[in-house]
Amino acid sequence: MSTLAVGGQSRLKLGSKRKGNTMRKPPRTRRSRTGGSGVMAFASRVFIAMLCITMLCVLGVGLLYGYRWLTASPYLALKDITVSGNSRLTNGDILNLAKVKLGDNCLNTNIAEVERNISANPWVKAATVRREFPNKLVITISERVPGFWVRERGTLNFADRHGKIIAPMQPGETGALPILEYGRGMNSTDTRLSALLDMIQGPETPFDMNQVAWVKVLGSKQVEIFLDGQRLALRMDLNGWQRQFRRIKAVWRDLALRGQFAQAEMIAATGDKVWVKRRGQGTAS
């Protein structure tokens, strides 16, 4: 409806005041690309993984065929096997123990197994084996050295310098060794005996080992050493044997200075006493 007003401050109004348009267009929604990107990333990772696996398979097959070719190549066939350090065992004995021969493939030889095979022999203390490419094998051994004969259960055995049995004596084997006898309750595990046997085989004694006929470890925990050349026996307690052996050496020197050494049949030390048994006579302290 129109109205008309007259006056200084009048103005013409036609109809009502027009309101602005309040209708708005809805915002455009962007399409989500997250799902598509994730699928592409997953497919890419799968492809890379399959490619890596394929390359590893190809590399593994190549290495396998390469190794087979090397282990069958005549270029790596053994042409020289060197053995050193052996004296009792022959080179043939060592090769039989090692189970290797000329013509075997150097690369295909199991070094650890060869060392175990050789070390299984009781005379072998240690064995080392190394390759020298392309066609050489070097075997170095350390043998046990016999120091005594030990009789056990009716069998004569070789024993080392500490009295530990190495191997039984075989028919045809010979050797000039003193006999080591153990009394009841005594054996080679006694550390005092081991030290004593070391001493009598060293430079501190007034006699050589080739003069020793036998060593007896008595059940009374005494040790008796018989010297074949002098026909002389030395006896001492196993406890405190170092002190007692020094006393025996002093008496030995004294008898030699007096010219009475040949008359002595035994020099014995026990506790704080040392005495000499003369041939055909009693004892003299």
What does the DSSP assignment read for 145-189?
A: ---EEEEETTEEEEE-TTS-EEEEPPTT------EEEE-TT--TT
Distances 79 to 32, 63, 132, 235 between C-alpha atoms, Å: 74, 26, 11, 58
Residues 172 and 102 in one domain: no
**What are the helix and strand counts (H, E) for the chain?**
5, 13
Helix 191-200 with 241-258: angle, nearest 10 deg: 30
Query: In this structure, are 152 and 279 located in the same domain?
Result: yes
Which residue blocks in the chain are alpha helix, DSSP H? 34-71, 91-98, 111-119, 191-200, 241-258
Question: Mapping DSSP to helix (H, G, I), strand (E, B) and coil, where does residue 91 land?
Answer: helix
Please report the pLDDT score of residue 191 as a whole number.
Answer: 86
Asked whether residue 120 is assigned to any structural domain, the reply reads yes
Same domain, 240 and 278: yes
In a domain, 55, yes or no: no
As given in the structure block, the two tokens for residue 148 are: 């005594």
Q: Is residue 54 part of a domain?
A: no
CATH code of 115's domain: 3.10.20.310
Q: Are residues 172 and 129 in the same domain?
A: no
Per-residue pLDDT of the chain (285 residues; tens, 9 = 90+): 444 444 444 444 444 445 555 555 555 555 555 556 777 887 788 878 887 887 787 766 655 545 555 556 788 899 999 999 999 999 999 999 999 999 999 988 999 999 999 999 999 999 999 999 999 999 999 999 999 999 988 899 999 999 999 999 988 888 889 999 988 878 778 888 889 999 988 888 999 899 999 999 998 889 999 999 899 999 999 999 999 999 999 999 999 999 999 999 999 999 889 999 999 875 555
Residue 273: strand pairing partners: 270
92 inside domain: yes
Taking CA atoms, 190 is separated from 150, 167, 168, 185, in Å, by 16, 20, 22, 10
Name which of 263, 253, 246, 183 is nearest 220 in CA terms.
183
Final residue of a domain: which of 89, 119, 143? 143
Number of domains in the chain: 2
In a domain, 1, yes or no: no
Which CATH number belongs to the domain containing residue 237 in this structure? 3.40.50.11690
Domain of residue 276 covers 148-284
- C-beta of residue 273 within 8 angstroms of C-beta of residue 235: no
Residue at 258 is within a domain: yes
- Residues 169 and 182 both lie in one domain: yes
Residue 139 and residue 184 in one domain: no
Looking at the fold, whether 102 and 194 belong to one and the same domain comes out as no
Shared domain for 96 and 179, answered yes or no, is no
Q: Is residue 187 part of a domain?
A: yes
User: CA 225, CA 112: separation in Å to the nearest integer?
Assistant: 43
Domain boundary among 108, 143, 178: 143
